[in-house]
Chain A
Amino acid sequence: MASVLLPVSLLLAALLLIPELFGDFTAYQIGLYLIYGIAAQGIGFLWGKTGVLPLGQALFFGFAAYVTAITLRAETGLITELALAVAVLVAIAVFACALAALIFRGRNDSGPYFSLITLALVMIAEQIAGTATTLTGGFNGLSGFDSLGKLDPFAGFYYVIVGVTVAVSLLLFVLNRLPVNLIARAVADNEPRLQLLGFPTHIIKGAAFAFSAVIAALAGGLFASHQGIVTPTSMGFGLSAELVILTAVGGRYHVLGPLIGAVLVGWASAELRDSFPYWELLMAVAFILVVLKAPGGIAELLEAGYRRVRATKPGAPSKVIAAPPTKAVDAAGPLRFDDVHLQIGVVRILNGVSFQTPATGIVSIIGPNGAGKTSTLNTITGNLRITGGRITFGRRKIDSRPPYKALHSGIGRKLQVPSVFFSMSVSENLAIAMMANRSRLLDLLRPSTYRWRSRSLSDLLDHPSVPLKEELVEPVDHLPQGHRQFLEYAMTIAAEPQVLLLDEPCAGLSPDETALMTDLVRHYQAETGGLVIVIEHDMSIVEAISDKVLVMHLGQVLAFDTFEQVRRNPEVQAVYAGGTK
């Protein structure tokens, strides 16, 4: 806990000293910068972790500021005011979450779309605030009200701001140590992988956006009380842009970065804006430089300096605890394709694929490049939507559902090129995989969830030939290709799916590693009694592991039989000898 309490108490001490050392007026000014800094901390959380950039955060800031101003003018009393504040924050959270979830539902790459929609929202909000004169006072704004609890903005109210600043920072520091932090970072790192582990990433982004919106609204409420006036600019494009710049320059990956950015930029701006005409230009150039050259901003430079003085030693790996059982899926039985068609644009990829696997066993899919093998797996997980036919697992229809539901219907997938969370360590990757299909919402808020380890994963890691155990603290991008294959395999089986889809699991492996991988696959199938579907090019592996072999060619099933029967099939021979094409 020291890593949380130390920076927070230092922050508290520094902020409490300001009025003593520099007087009340400086404290008043710093109070305003801190308010912007709080809103920027929310942006930093969303942008730094999930990679989603909101360009219209003043929407929430300004909305809360207006509501605060209207309530304070009505002088309804502190209890009503605080109750209303809670109601407004809840409404903002629901709106923000729904908006982001809607926009992010259909795609993994809508970062730019989301940013532009938030920008459009704040522009319309500023316009409405300027024209709805009866409610907002138009361009002159709302003024003539006391601050919250009738505190003096030049004296007592500063301590309210300090309290909120410290509370928000503490909350963010604590969140950093909880499993939700890992999930949020995983969204930015490798969204398709996280979906295949069963996490609805659009909801995660929605929740993160809602959280940042609530923080912005908190800051907006303080702003109205502190400044005693709210105008359309408090809800405008300009403020939104400035908050993003403060976040970027201060450092979006660190809790205190946006605060540092807000205070430094705010102070420099107050000193220079009037005497130095190129100040705004300078800020734009600083922003571009940070984006291109130093994405970590000031906070990262400070932290690098601190690390040089006091290097952190990697902590000893904590003791593991038994993971809870996976969520029960009442799905079993054969996987069945009925006349499945898949067409993307004018390219026809699958042309009437029909087969039915046995309920258990190992099925290999073989076929020349472009036969539609990987696309077949993509239709099973929902990464590709079929354009005709039907896919069923047991009695349940499983086509045309989003990929994040694949695991819940009992289907786990390992991709062709190892797809793991590259910015994280091996143990962090495994921790996320352990949460897949096991964690409930509250588990993501308990540090103990980090230490979950299932028996089958322990067995895999304890296997003398599996390389992962010595590399738990290594970042994944230092691992060789073969080790990444084992890591992704371990992550896929950690959720114990009934159907395991493996796309060329032995690609890039040495002969020894290949033998190990085939052993592991056979062992998993025997242990769970489930179904394994493997795409493989190496015929010796296919012969060794397959109960049945599915041969695909030009988007259709050419043969589906035992290895011996398939080998004797003259059509298969013709395709593999290059006879027909």
Chain B
Amino acid sequence: MSGARLAVLGAGAVGRSVVELAAEYGHTVTAVADSSSAAVDTDGIDTEAVLDRKAEGGTVGDADPDAALDADYDVLVEATPTTLDDAEPGFSHVAHALDRDRHAVLANKGPVAERYGDLRELEADSEGQIRFEATVGGAIPICSTIADFGASHITAARGVLNGTANFILSRMAAEGLDYEHVLAEAQDLGVAEADPTFDVEGIDAALKFVILSNVLAEGDQEFTLDDATVEGITDIPGSALELAAEDGRTIRLIGEATPDSVTVAPRLVPDDGPLSVTGTLNIVQLETTHAGRLNVSGRGAGGPETATAVLSDVSRLTE
């Protein structure tokens, strides 16, 4: 879809980048909302003014946040923070758009990981479509690659989908430091959040692999976070990485998604293999039925990176 009118919900790093880059992709932002305010203009909001206001005063406009939901738009961009269980308010935002026969593009993992069946049901009753490339691996085209091959031709997806855990493990291995030390460094650099639980306990990675299993299962089975076997990296001592390195291996937080299971755990991988990406890079390996293995890697997080995935999804929508 070209020349789309976008309503952007969520004004964090991803939402702000979508607003900033939309014009470059030929789209118009007709509404933007954060948790306490909204800016709405059917002819297109003044993106620069809105972003300046957000940076200075913390709000995007004077309207009520719900005004963005009722604005004039073709595509709703759901970029509010990921929530678990009922995945609200993200889920209702998407439901609202589908109810109006509008499209929804998600950067929020919650609804796709926790309520995939509900989403697909709503989509079936709507003229609108949902897309969610941005929920898995930031700028890396994973969902669209699976769609290109056809989900039935992909038997498994595995890889590294959490930059924070990967940064910590690769720093521990390279510097011989222990977990606590590297975590503190990652927090100073802004790579890890003040509360790193989601990343280091493997939950963030698990949500992404749950989404991939939902895609691979093609409706035969539905997955949520509860169906995933998840282990984090907090118990790994520096000595384990040293022993791995002596043997030409290293440890990475690896997820595996198949049409019938989801696991995330620290695993031993060859030091020089494709899965031992360093720093905050992400990689996904797709196991194909007739074409061997496909490796796709790149930046798995960040505002402009994830916004790139969102805007590519908007382009993929059919009118």
Note whether A and B form a binding pair.
no
B: residues with CB less than 8 A from A are: none
Where the two chains meet, the residues of A that have a C-beta atom closer than 8 Å to any C-beta of B are none
